Amino acid sequence: MKVTFSQINAPEVTPTGNGPALIEGVGPALPRGVPGEMEPEPPATMGAYNVRHQEATNEDSALSNLVAPVCGDVTCQATVVTDASTPSMRVISMIGAAFPNGSHPPQLAFRIPE
């Protein structure tokens, strides 16, 4: 099973020119335009994690632990994508493991690709 997190409406990142405080003994970053310098990558807005399907039925599920930091205190929107050959009980077990009793109920959308 694959869990993918996507940040929607991520804030715009603007370079400020102020770097982080340096650790003692570490030199300053090279100024922009120096040959060999790489442009900084934009922050990630998506992450994907694979979990074995057995985790959906474990009492201390890795799915619960994976989703809790993101959705533990708020209602999350989740899209469940599956194919027609996946047993429905496996899908229901995954939803139950990702959002266990005591967590905020998610807003779910189901999609079966053609």
35-44, 68-77, 87-96, 105-114: range with lowest mean pLDDT:
35-44
Amino acid at site 31: P
pLDDT at 41: 73
Largest CA-CA distance found in the chain, in angstroms, rounded: 58
pLDDT at 54: 86
Is this structure's pTM higher than 0.75? no
Arithmetic mean of pLDDT over the chain: 79
DSSP strand pairing (77-81 vs 2-6): unpaired
**Cα–chain center distance at 69:** 10
pLDDT digits (tens, 9 = 90+) for 46-60: 889 898 888 888 888
End-to-end C-alpha distance for the chain, whole angstroms: 19
pLDDT digits (tens, 9 = 90+) for 99-111: 888 888 899 999 8
Number of Cβ atoms within 10 Å of the Cβ of 98:
24
Both structure tokens of 45: 């807005």
Residue written as token pair 């900084």: 40
Indicate the domain borders of the chain. 74-114
29-38, 61-70, 82-91: range with lowest mean pLDDT:
29-38
CA nearest neighbour of 64 among 110, 105, 96: 96
- Whether the per-residue pLDDT at 75 is higher than 60: the answer is yes
- Whether the per-residue pLDDT at 61 is higher than 60: the answer is yes
Number of Cβ atoms within 10 Å of the Cβ of 64:
20
pLDDT at 1: 82
Amino acid at site 89: M
